[in-house]
Structure 1
Amino acid sequence: MSVESVIAHEVEAGSTPHYSLLALTRPDFIMLNFIVLLYGSYTMLFSLYTYLQIQHHERKHYYQSAVVVLYILATAALVLTILSYDQENLLWFSRMVPSINPSSLEVNLLTYEYLQVAEAAIYVVANTIADALLLYRCYIVWGARKYIIIVPSLICIVNTVLALVALGAVVRALQSQTGNSEIDHAIKNFSPGNIGFPLPKSASIILLLFLAINLFTNIMLTGLIAGRIWWISKETRQSLGEVEDSKRRTSLNSVVKLILESGSLYPVALAFGLGLNATNTVNAVEPILTVIVGMAATLIMVMTDLDLSIHISTDQSHWQQILEPDGMESDRTALSSSYELQPNNQTRDVGSEEYRSPGWGIIQNKPRYSTRESNKVHKQQITRLRLEPQSDWLGANAGWG
């Protein structure tokens, strides 16, 4: 008779009276239900995103592909979590059935642990994709200045490599446990967060640091992006004045708000997961983080497309240039707050065909400033309010996470 059959028989016979109560109150069961709930919300969000993308045929596919891959990874993480929970149940309640030989649970224990490693590996891959998107957006918003993302990129790369090395060490340790005399002891002492195997302590520390470093880099990159756009708003206000710039400034502030709202989702989840992981409250936090990192990347796109929280009167395509990596390579322009200001006595007409731009509303296809003489020699006036044509372009969106 299989282990599953023995446990089912004992439950039906009333030998484990608290089985149902324990199953419903265990932290891992609560976490599983929360993951399923989040995944359902994520599925609806992803469906809406798919519908919105169908309405925008001109967009490039590389960001769309990344969002699809993140959803697939989240789905795989959910499936592995359910399978892992099933194996955990067998191990957990086998202790209540004296007739079960612990040696017969060796396969279940090892299967459970390999599933845990697979969940962590999926999360590392999903986080890498999200980091790449976030780094690219930061690179774009900062005018394609490579030095801005050098340090964050190195941190993300080293962090990811160390996490993969740690997972490899865990796999090797598990392989060495096959047929080990400590299996019986490990099964008898099985508990969430403690498998009983002498796995490398360094691996556990590295995986914990992986979450902490992710939290740091996400906060840093989100701050760099929001801070840059805030600075652009400040520079625009100083250049155009309060009246002329009121609408534009409101739009930029709305973008900052959007970035902070969407960007805070993943860091908050990381902080929560870091606490659970450090205290061994649940077996693994990686599945729920995999779902959330995908949600964050998709959420900002949906909010942008629906124009939620962005109350702007200018062409929405501009915001897609900032928030979405959608085929803007041909423009060869870069977002910059360093508008060209000249201390001269003339203001050029920026409404001609030469200075036409579909975004910002700063450059309209009509004369806004006419050539005129000025007696104030020291007054800096706007000569060209346009996106600087000096760097490898630009066009990014959120990886968020």
Structure 2
Amino acid sequence: MDYIVNPRLFASNWHNMVFIITQACVQVLFYGIYLNLFLMTIYTLGRRKVAKREILLRHMWILTAFGTTQVVLCLVETTTLIRVVQEFVEQGSSLNVLKLEASSESLQTAQHFTFAVNGLAAHCLFVYRCYVIWGSQWKAVILPGLLVVGTFVSICVVAAPRFGTSPPLGIQRLPYIMAAVTNLTLVALTAGRIWWIRCDAVYVCADNTLVNQYNTAIAMILESGALHAIIATLLAITYPLAHIYPKGMSFWAIQALAMHFINIAPALIIVRVGFGHDIQEAIERSRITNPTVHPARTRVRLVPPFQLSNDGLVLDIKPDVEDQYKELIHSRLGFAGK
């Protein structure tokens, strides 16, 4: 049978086109989801007086800019690869085809670097949240900070253009492994700290509503962090299939999901806070209901070192025992004024 074009080269170009079309479709889908969440985030931060609202707004705009850039680069790369297949069928391995292939590789590299910077920006928000929850103790974020930087550097090293050789498979999978470890570390530090504060809150105040708000905070952090780690793990597992057709479609689809889930997670938390999952509101309700204190359960820790703020579950989840709680505790234990 006579072929107009080289079947092996045509199959390679065709598979690359199918992979990038798969990634483009998934990216557009989840970018649309993120845009809706972003608009809800702007509305939420606009109608609620959150203490660090300006920081959150600026950060969300930055994440949106990177997410939009990734979608645009992906769509341009998709168009370029479609042209590669068309030109290859019409002209074979011509100079124009080689230029289009080089342009496609450059677009893919740019998309990887954009993803790396986007991930760095998103992780910085998570690290800052951990820093605030730990009472602005910088020692608590040394390890996650180093992991975030390590993840960023590993993505840049793998994404850097090379000529003739490519790094070993283990090195190519390193960014995904680092991302999984980073997210698990942040989840452990953040959710663990909130759980510890929750235990102290139970000793001081028996308000079930307040305790439930802590549980909600822990659940949201565990959900987002666990999904991050699962997605990164799936990328590390499916990476060897990236260039095998059709199994490689799973890797490209998961990678497209990861590119926008890093922006969806913080936006989703802010939106959920906007719909009432706020510890501050629980505190206000507990004032009205005049919470009871159980002296037998307070032990030595009469006044835990908490600090109440208006940031809810977004950044500053560390409610305090306010003055009226302190007076109530002291009066119940019989040493008011001390």
- TM-score normalised to structure 2 length: 0.74
Instruction: Encode CA deviations 1:313-338: one digit per residue, 9 max, x unaligned.
Output: 33499575353358xxxxxxx94xxx
Please show how residues 362-381 of structure 1 align to structure 2 within 5 Å. Answer: 362-363=321-322, 365=324, 367-369=327-329, 371=331
Residues 1:68 and 2:61 aligned together: yes
Letter in 2 for 1:130: A
Specify the alignment match of 2:232 in structure 1.
270
Alignment counterpart, residue 123 of structure 1, candidates 115, 123, 128:
115
Q: Out of 317, 321, 330, which is 2:311 matched to? A: 321
Q: Aligned equivalents of 1:26 and 1:153: distance in 2? A: 37
Q: Quick check: 2:74–2:111 contact (8 Å CA) kept in 1? A: yes
Equivalent residue for 1:34, pick from 9, 12, 26: 26
Residue 234 of structure 1 pairs with residue 199 of structure 2: yes
User: SS in structure 2 opposite 1:321?
Assistant: coil
Bigger proportion of residues as helix: 2
Q: 1:152 to 1:383 in 2, by over 3 A?
A: farther
Q: 1:373 to 1:201 in 2, by over 3 A?
A: closer
Distance 1:212 1:320 in 2: 36
For residues 11-160 of structure 1, the aligned pairs below 5 Å read 26-56=18-48, 59-60=51-52, 61-92=54-85, 94=87, 97=89, 99-160=91-152
Whole-angstrom distance in 2 between the partners of 1:383 and 1:256:
35
1:33 positional shift:
1.5
Q: Which residue of 2 aligns with 1:307?
A: 276
Structure 2 equivalent of residue 249 of structure 1? 211
CA gap 1:30/1:320 in 2 versus in 1, 3 angstroms: farther
Gaps of 5+ in 2: 5-10, 243-247, 286-306
* Alignment CA distance shift 1:372-1:125 (3 Å): closer
Q: CA deviation at 1:276?
A: 3.6
- Which protein has the larger Cα radius of gyration, Structure 1 or Structure 2? 1
The answer for the alignment partner of 1:294 in structure 2 is 263
Among the aligned pairs, what percent are the same residue? Answer: 21
Match of 2:293 in 1: none
Q: Is the contact made by 1:230 and 1:256 (CA closer than 8 Å) also made in structure 2?
A: yes
Give distance in 1, aligned partners of 2:27 and 2:42: 22
Q: Which runs of 4+ in 1 moved over 6 A?
A: 381-384
CA distance in 2, matches of 1:319, 1:215: 31
Q: 1:286 offset after TM fit, Å?
A: 5.0
2: CA distance between counterparts of 1:269 and 1:48?
Answer: 25
Q: What one-letter code is carried by the residue in structure 2 that aligns with 1:294? A: N
CA distance in 2, matches of 1:147, 1:259: 21
Consecutive unaligned residues in structure 1, runs of 5 or more: 1-9, 11-18, 174-197, 327-333, 336-358, 375-380, 385-401
Q: Distance in 2 between matches of 1:383 and 1:236?
A: 22
Q: 1:383 to 1:32 in 2, by over 3 A?
A: farther
Measured in 2, the distance between the counterparts of 1:130 and 1:33 equals 23
Q: Structure 1 residues 219 and 138 mapped into 2: Cα distance closer, same or farther (>3 Å)? A: same
Distance in 2, Cα, partners of 1:319 & 1:205:
45
1:210 is aligned to 2:175:
yes
Distance 1:153 1:370 in 2: 40
Mark the CA change 1:262 to 1:155 in structure 2 (over 3 Å): closer, same or farther: closer
Q: Is the 8 A contact 1:81 1:287 kept in 2?
A: no
CA contact (8 A) 2:180 2:232 kept: yes
1:67 Cα deviation from its structure 2 partner: 1.0
